Structure 1
Amino acid sequence: MDRSVNTPEKLLHAFRTDNPTAPRLTWYGPDSERVEFSGRVLDNWVAKTANYLVDELDAEPGTVVALHLPLHWRSMVWLLATWAVGAKAVTVPGTTISSTTDAPGADAETHRWAELAANADILATAWPDVAHTHLTGAKSDLLVVAVALPALQMRWMSELPPRTLDYSGDVRSHADVFFADSAADSQDVAWQHHSTGTSECTTTYAALLTPGAELLSVPHIPLPLAPQRVLLHVRDGWDAVVRDALSIWAAGGSIVLLADGVADTPALRASEQITLG
């Protein structure tokens, strides 16, 4: 990891200035979807989303942004944008809050939703109908934002529940450059998440981009790490994928992220010029 890239702000600056036309994030999703972002384009998406968070949702340092999203290129953008603002991101693993209304363990599910509603200021969700069902009666100032996942979907295509905002329909009108009015303290919580086999844990802003951090899903790779093209899998979970991505990006590298169900083939590795993973 480049020791100078030790904050989200410096990482986004590196996207803009360190070989900005080179790929930084490539996504393989369902239905043969492939989306690639250069550093400049990835920074552009993060800036628009950060401006959306501030201008439309009044986000600031200390705001709690809950992500009821799958691991996806859009959720990576939301994470980076939340950290650009200085807010706290809460990622919700799929086994904790489901994308269906008829999941087993209904009592525990109801409790988790109630806890989320009580603590979050903003909820970004790929399943707004499910969120609306569970959040009926929640505190009135919780802002719910529908996030359409397909890359070419310019707005939410069906009717949204009451008081639900359309991220995809609104974000493109926001500025391509983000300037934070204030910054989070280094000891503020940046990310509340779950590690494999552990209970909930938190990561401070100081620890997000820590030199010498180990890659979790590719444990045989030591750091510091020269720029590499690294294959990551959604199946490895939020903790591993996000930590690996941050380490790889800080070292000047790029990631190829495969959704569940996308085959890891020699042809894909060759075409994407994978060097690690």
Structure 2
Amino acid sequence: MTTVLRSLLQDFREGRTLPSGAPRLTWYGPGGERVELSGKVLDNWVAKSGNLLQDELDGGPGVSISLALPAHWKSFVLVLAAMDLGMLARLDGDALEDADMTATADEALVGRAGEVDTQLIAVALGALSPRWPGELPSGVVDYAGAVRGHGDVFQPWMDADPTQAVLSTGGREIDDAGLRTFATEAADGVRLLVHAGDGLPAALAAALGAWLAGGSVVLVHPEVDVTPRLRESEKISA
């Protein structure tokens, strides 16, 4: 069955609205960090992450994951992967105890691995971080260290029911069709500036709106100065 999300990932992969090699997500982080993901590469990261969640953590329909993460390109990848699996992606960090697994970059939370009733996934946010910086408690999955070893093509073990919620935020539960309503309206082909400081729910809504309109996203960390030169070089249109 073709769903809103599967159709979007197919667009990334096949380049139906933008060439698959064109940027779909560009990240500006602190210290001059810049990461650019084409549609094909973004789909590849989502596929690898989906395989990690499914193969190592038994992710799938009926399983929930809390994204206790800031707005970041890796957060976007994990949300897309979880939803594609039919998991319920919770964007409100206070839902830790209700989630089967939790992705976090918080060292303090990672250190509480034996105290919280959730499978922890430690996410190193640095672009060049090949693994979590430091020793991880037993049972915590190192996202950066594990994800690259998974397959480039994702095949779910079972198809999810598209009427079941795949996203939870602000007291709302949203199914696949509802992603179009959740997404912020955007102009066709927009090159959209998204501020990470607005938080993961708002940033994801903006990004989905741009992607569904055949556009692309420039996501900037709060410490990044959005100069006229940056706007011009990235061809930002909104």
TM-score (norm 2): 0.91
Q: Which residue of 2 aligns with 1:254?
A: 216
Q: Deviations over 1:48-84 (max 9, x none)?
A: 0000000100101111011111110000000000011
1:116 aligns with 2:96: yes
Q: 1:271 aligns with which of 208, 216, 233?
A: 233
Q: 1:214 to 1:67 in 2, by over 3 A?
A: closer
Secondary structure of 1:192's match? strand
Per the TM alignment, residue 181 of structure 1 is displaced from its structure 2 partner at its CA by 2.5
Deviations 1:171-198 (A, max 9, x none): 101000101232322221111113xxxx
Q: 1:239 to 1:127 in 2, by over 3 A?
A: closer
> What's the secondary structure of 1:67's corresponding residue?
strand
Aligned to 1:218: none
SS in 1 for 2:168: strand
1:131 to partner: Cα distance: 3.9
Q: Cα RMSD (Å) of the superposition?
A: 1.8
* Alpha-carbon shift at residue 144 of structure 1 (Å): 1.0
1:128 Cα offset (Å): 4.1
**Partners of 2:49 and 2:190 in 1: CA distance:** 27
Equivalent residue number for residue 80 of structure 1: 80
Q: Deviations over 1:104-128 (max 9, x none)?
A: xxxxxxxx4xx622x2111111124
- The reply to whether residue 33 of structure 1 matches residue 62 of structure 2 is no
Q: How many aligned residue pairs are there?
A: 234
Higher-Rg member (1/2): 1
After superposition, the Cα gap between the structure-2 partners of 1:138 and 1:201, relative to the gap in structure 1 and judged at 3 Å, is same
Select which of 127, 141, 162 maps to 2:106: 127
How has the CA–CA distance of structure 1 residues 82 and 214 changed in structure 2, closer, same or farther, with 3 Å as cutoff? closer
Once structures 1 and 2 are overlaid, which stretch shifts more, 183-192 or 58-67? 183-192
Matched residue type, 1:7: V
1:239 and 2:201 correspond: yes
Give the residue type in structure 2 aligned to 1:13. Answer: Q
Identity across matched positions, percent:
43
Counterpart of 2:228 in structure 1: which amino acid? P
Which of 3, 6, 24 in structure 2 is aligned with 1:9? Answer: 6
TM-fit CA distance, 1:143: 1.5
Aligned counterpart, 1:226: 188
Q: 1:213-239, CA deviations, whole angstroms, 9 ceiling, x for partnerless residues?
A: 763xxxxxx65x321211111122233
Partner of 1:70: 70
1:137-177, Cα deviation, whole Å (9 max, x unpaired): 444xx321111101111111211123211111111010001
Distance 1:251 1:144, change over 3 A: same
Does the 8 A contact of 1:128 with 1:164 survive in 2? no
After the TM superposition, which parts of structure 1 deviate over 3 Å for at least 4 consecutive aligned residues? 135-139
Residue aligning to 2:179: 208
What secondary structure does 1:262 align onto? coil
> CA deviation digits over 1:3-30, x for unaligned, max 9?
xx95111110000111100000000111
Distance 1:74 1:125 in 2: 11
Aligned mate of 1:148, from 116, 124, 137? 124
Q: 2:156 aligns with which of 160, 168, 180?
A: 180
> Matched residue of 1:31: which SS?
helix
Task: Give the match for residue 169 of structure 2.
Answer: 193
Aligned partner letter, 1:206: A
Match of 1:105 in 2: none
TM-score with structure 1 length normalisation? 0.79
Aligned-residue offset at 1:240: 2.3
Letter paired with 1:248: A
Q: How far apart, in 2, do the equivalents of 1:193 and 1:132 lie?
A: 26
